[in-house]
């Protein structure tokens, strides 16, 4: 099926449902939350009852997006809030999964499979490479910059009205997933979608302040430390930087980063480093918590595709922007950084 036909079919499925649950990935980024916010508005415009879920969403994240404060951040409170005793199928007839890449990234994969098993319908809107095949209607286009761009295509394909609130969502998703149009995923179609959002009244300044001009002193210092630590592995032409748990405690004065700070560090700094010339790829490593190391990989222009490497390390993502998580700690031995897996 062509994209156009799939997008029309998605609207038919929404129209023939009464209660819709929209889900994006755990530890959401701007694109995940924008996609939820936009799809929720579109569902409400159809007269549907719409709920949304995103595991680990913290309260302030992208709070200007319409309805983003109504997103449930854990399944228990969703079920309690809606009076669901058992299965999601007892309440919903349609689930829309947005921007998730894999079922695991919904954080409630088993509940979704059970929902489907009991006759519920699932639509996927995504721009990650396929990992799982579970949706009744899979609208997956890895060549798109963002799921928000796909949602914009949904609006256009179905000739739905495009208002300022929707435009804020679309522009936010595009700006966050393209690093303000810097990453290679920003195509002419992406620019056209963003231009349409601006023409519909999207508040560019407010969005840019939120997604880009938002760095406090601690975050700038963390960027600074990572830049100072930047090294090139000449054999693989891989540039890399390392941030340890102790660095985070020293800089932030606390032992954890909230998801907004983490996303800024990973997406913001990794995206910035993807402009590095003289390297084929960039890798940021940091100790997510004691015993767990997260890696973020970016391809540089004309560099190597990093998606395969991330998948080989048990992670996922896009071909040019991907990540992984491994057990272990980061230690400096003989002036070299080593990932030590304490379990081995
Ligand atoms: Mn995305």
Q: Are residues 80 and 225 in the same domain?
A: no
The number of distinct structural domains making up the chain is 2
The pLDDT score that the predictor gives to residue 12 is 98
How would residue 344 be classed by pLDDT, with cut points 50, 70 and 90? very low
Centroid of ligand 1 to alpha carbon of 248 (angstroms):
26
Asked whether residue 50 falls in the same domain as residue 144, the answer is yes
Dihedral over alpha carbons 145, 148, 153, 156 (to 10 degrees) = -140
Q: What spacing in Å lies between the alpha carbon of 171 and ligand 1's midpoint? A: 12
Regarding whether 150 and 49 lie in a shared domain, the answer is: yes
Residues 10 and 144 in one domain: yes
| Top-confidence residue, 60 or 50 | 50
Q: How far is the CA of 86 from the centre of ligand 1 (A)?
A: 31
CA 99 – ligand 1 centroid, Å: 5
Residues spanned by the domain of 333:
217-340
- State the CATH number of the domain containing residue 258: 3.10.310.30
The pLDDT confidence band at residue 172, using thresholds 50, 70 and 90, is: very high
- Distance from Cα 266 to the centre of ligand 1, integer Å: 14
Provide φ and ψ at 109, rounded to 5°: -55, -45
- Cβ partners under 8 Å of residue 275, min gap 6: 182, 300, 301
Which DSSP string do the residues of 226-284 spell out, in sequence order?
HHHH-EEETTTTEEEEEE-HHHHHHHHSSS---HHHHHIIIIIIHHHHTT-TT-SEEEE
Name the percent of the chain lying above pLDDT 90.
Answer: 68
**CB atoms closer than 10 angstroms to residue 216:** 11
Ligand 1 centroid–CA 313 distance in Å is 21
Give me ligand 1 centre to Cα 105, in Å.
Answer: 12
**Tens-digit pLDDT profile for residues 182-219:** 888 899 999 999 999 999 999 999 998 887 777 788 88
pLDDT for 273: 86
CB neighbours of 90 closer than 8 A, spacing ≥ 6?
84
For residue 102, the CA-to-ligand 1 centroid distance in Å is 12
For residue 263, pLDDT over 90 is answered with no
CA distance 73 to 55: 5
229 shares a domain with 185: no
Closest CA to 229 of 196, 273, 192: 273
Provide the mean pLDDT of the chain: 91
C-alpha of residue 88 to centroid of ligand 1, in Å: 25
How large is the angle between the packed helices 164-178 and 30-45, nearest 10 degrees? 160
Q: What is the CATH number of the domain that holds 132?
A: 3.90.1640.10
How far does residue 127's CA lie from ligand 1's centre (Å)?
A: 7
d(CA 39, CA 45): 10
Mean pLDDT, residues 95-112 taken together: 96
Choosing from 211, 239, 270, the residue where a domain stops is 211
* Ligand 1 centroid to residue 179 C-alpha, Å: 11
In this structure, are 234 and 335 located in the same domain?
yes
Measured CA to CA, the distance from residue 109 to residue 263 in angstroms comes to: 23
Q: Find tokens 């979608």 and name the residue.
A: 193
Among 191, 211, 231, give the residue marking a domain's end.
Answer: 211
What value does the mean pLDDT take over residues 96-108?
95
Sheet holding 292-299, edge to edge: 231-233, 238-243, 281-289, 292-299, 321-327, 316-317
Q: How confident is the model at residue 58, as a pLDDT? A: 76
> How many angstroms does the Cα of residue 128 sit away from the middle of ligand 1?
7
Q: How many whole angstroms separate alpha carbon 15 and alpha carbon 28?
A: 27
CA–centroid distance, 35 to ligand 1, in Å, is 9
**pTM (2 decimals)?**
0.85
CA of 263 to the centre of ligand 1 (A): 12
> What one-character-per-residue DSSP string does 4-57 give?
HHHHHHHHHHHHT-SEEEEEE-SS--HHHHHHHHHHHHHHHHTT-EEEEE-TT-
Same domain, 119 and 245: no
pLDDT for 213 equals 73
**61 and 157: one domain?**
yes
pLDDT score of 343: 59
Cβ-contact 18, 50 below 8 angstroms: no
pLDDT single digits (tens) 24-52: 999 898 999 999 999 999 999 999 999 99
**32 CA → ligand 1 middle, Å:** 6
Whether 243 and 197 share a structural domain: no
Compute, in angstroms, the gap from residue 148 CA to the centroid of ligand 1.
Answer: 7
The residue-averaged pLDDT of 72-84 equals 96
| Whether residues 25 and 139 fall in one domain | yes
pLDDT over threshold 80, residue 96: yes
Angstrom CA distances, 240 to 78, 90, 226, 259, 291, stand at: 40, 49, 9, 22, 20
Q: Are residues 43 and 144 in the same domain?
A: yes
- The answer to whether residues 158 and 293 belong to one domain is no
First to last CA, the chain: 48
Say how far apart CA 334 and CA 171 lie, in whole Å. 47
pLDDT computed for residue 259 by the predictor: 65
The beta-carbon contacts of 245-249 under 8 Å, at least 24 apart in sequence, are 245/287, 245/289, 245/290, 245/329, 247/222, 248/222, 248/286, 248/287
> What's the gap in Å between 144 CA and the centre of ligand 1?
9
Q: How far is the centre of ligand 1, averaged over its atoms, from the C-alpha of 292 (Å)?
A: 24
pLDDT at residue 112, rounded to an integer: 98
Residue 286: half-sphere exposure toward Cβ, Cα within 13 Å: 25
pLDDT for position 88: 97
Question: How many whole angstroms separate alpha carbon 303 and alpha carbon 281?
Answer: 6
Residue 138 has pLDDT above 90, yes or no: yes
Determine the average pLDDT of the residues in 278-298.
90
Among 156, 178, 211, the domain-final residue is 211
Q: How far is CA 332 from the centre of its chain?
A: 31
**Residue 53: per-residue pLDDT:** 98
Say what the pLDDT of residue 212 is.
Answer: 74
């Amino acid at each position: 099926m062509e994209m156009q036909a799939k997008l029309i079919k998605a609207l038919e499925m929404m129209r023939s449902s009464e209660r819709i649950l929209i889900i994006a990935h755990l530890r959401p980024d701007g694109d995940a939350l924008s996609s939820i916010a936009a799809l929720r508005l579109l569902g409400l415009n159809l007269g549907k009852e719409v709920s949304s879920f995103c595991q680990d969403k913290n309260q302030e994240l992208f709070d200007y997006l319409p309805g983003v404060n109504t997103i449930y951040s854990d399944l228990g409170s969703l079920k309690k809030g809606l009076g669901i005793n058992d299965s999601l199928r007892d309440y919903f007839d349609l689930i829309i999964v947005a921007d998730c890449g894999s079922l695991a990234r919904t954080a409630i994969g088993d509940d979704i499979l059970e929902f489907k098993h009991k006759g519920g319908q699932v639509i996927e809107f995504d721009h990650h490479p396929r990992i799982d095949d579970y949706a009744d209607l899979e609208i997956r286009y890895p060549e798109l910059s963002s799921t928000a761009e796909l949602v914009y295509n949904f609006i256009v394909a179905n000739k739905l009205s495009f208002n300022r609130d929707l435009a804020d969502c679309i522009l936010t998703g595009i700006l966050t997933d393209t690093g303000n149009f810097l990453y290679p995923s920003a195509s002419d179609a992406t620019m056209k979608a963003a231009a349409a959002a601006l023409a519909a009244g999207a508040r560019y300044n407010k969005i840019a302040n939120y997604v880009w001009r938002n760095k406090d002193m601690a975050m700038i210092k963390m960027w600074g430390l990572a830049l100072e630590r930047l090294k090139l592995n000449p054999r693989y032409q891989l540039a890399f930087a390392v941030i340890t748990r102790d660095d985070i405690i020293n800089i932030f004065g606390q032992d954890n980063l909230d998801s907004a700070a983490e996303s800024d560090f990973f997406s913001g700094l990794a995206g910035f480093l993807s402009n590095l010339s003289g390297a084929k790829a960039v890798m940021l490593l940091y100790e997510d918590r004691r015993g767990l190391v997260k890696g973020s990989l970016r391809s540089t222009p004309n560099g190597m595709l990093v998606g395969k490497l991330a998948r080989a390390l048990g992670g996922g993502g896009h071909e040019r922007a991907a990540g992984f998580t491994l057990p272990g700690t980061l230690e400096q031995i003989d002036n070299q950084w080593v990932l030590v897996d304490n379990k081995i």
